[in-house]
Amino acid sequence: MSEKLQKVLARAGKGSRREMETFISAGRVSVDGKVAYLGDRVEGTEQIRIDGHNVKITAAANDFCRVLVYNKPEGEMCTRKDPEGRPTVFDRLPPLEGGRWVAVGRLDINTSGMLIFTTDGELANRLMHPSRKVEREYAVRVFGEVDEAMLQRLRHGVKLEDGPAKFNQIIYRGGEGRNHWFHVVLTEGRNREVRRLWESQEVQVSRLIRVRYGDMHMPRQLPLGGWTELGLKEVNYFRQLVELAPETQSKVKVDEKAIDNAKSRRIRRSVKKHHVRSQQTNRRKRN
């Protein structure tokens, strides 16, 4: 059965359906070598391109929403391929047939913690969009003198080079000397926003860890470099959060625990094997 072109492009992770409608109207999309028009439908066997670049599409029959939570280590890039050969967050993810994992936002190379991936491009784009006001919480260690006046400025808003920004919530979590831990909450995902907010107050960020996205916290037993797939209930929480229809299928068994001790050990073994393989690959490249 045919589907609207913008729906197929959104599922491929190229943007929201509305954004894809704009692309089509602007003549940036082609189907089998011909410029596409708004209202076009496709079967799924066509060659689709955006700005001349081929789009890998997912068959609707095999398409149901899957969501992973990944515990990103520092030092990994949030890109599919890095020209400098640095490790990326996609290196460890399970392979997909006829689809791809779409990252919900990014974390910079020096930031660790909770990163969400999904097979549904529309879900990813809605979760990232500022209009949805989905909360992100970070644990941040700062170096420098912090007083209440500074915290009030960060709560009420400061001017950055790309516009005003603020933390919705700041919670002090302790510290010694000039090192202090805070948990901060915001509803945007601008580039390096947490770091830039603190740096606007002449305070240096020495550690940054994302610990929550929406109401979903990072699973405590998920090791750095490990991933776990969410069950149907958790998937539908994210879908409901951004007004998408609930999913009816899942790769995760209904009665499966999120992460028990046995599963945590399996994840750690997998992370260790990946680390060993990466070291071997790097040695071969150097030789």
pLDDT tens-digit profile of 49-85? Answer: 999 999 987 666 556 889 999 999 999 999 988 888 8
**Domains of the chain listed by start with CATH number:** 3-60 (3.10.290.10), 67-103+115-129+217-286 (3.30.2350.10), 135-211 (3.30.2350.10)
Looking at residue 239, its pLDDT comes to 95
Looking at residue 284, its pLDDT comes to 65
Helices (H) and strands (E) in the chain, counts: 7, 17
Looking at residue 233, its pLDDT comes to 94
Write down the pTM of the prediction.
0.79
Dist. CA 259–CA 256, nearest whole Å: 9
3-state secondary structure of 257: coil
Looking at residue 59, its pLDDT comes to 62
| Exposure on the CB side of residue 205, measured as CA atoms within 13 A | 22
Q: What is the dihedral of CA 137, 141, 142, 148, to 10 degrees?
A: 60
Per the annotation, the verdict on 108 as an active-site residue is yes
Which positions of the chain have pLDDT values less than 50? none
Give the active site residue among 63, 82, 91, 108: 108
Q: Where are the beta strands (DSSP E) in the chain?
A: 3-4, 29-31, 34-35, 41-42, 48-50, 53-54, 67-72, 102-104, 112-118, 136-143, 158-160, 163-165, 169-176, 179-186, 204-213, 216-217, 227-229
Dist. CA 213–CA 215, nearest whole Å: 6
Which is it for strands 112-118 and 67-72: parallel, antiparallel or unpaired? antiparallel
- Which residues, other chains included, contact 248 with Cβ-Cβ below 8 Å and sequence gap of 6+? 64, 232
Dist. CA 123–CA 102, nearest whole Å: 9
Looking at residue 168, its pLDDT comes to 96
Residues facing 71 on adjacent strands: 114
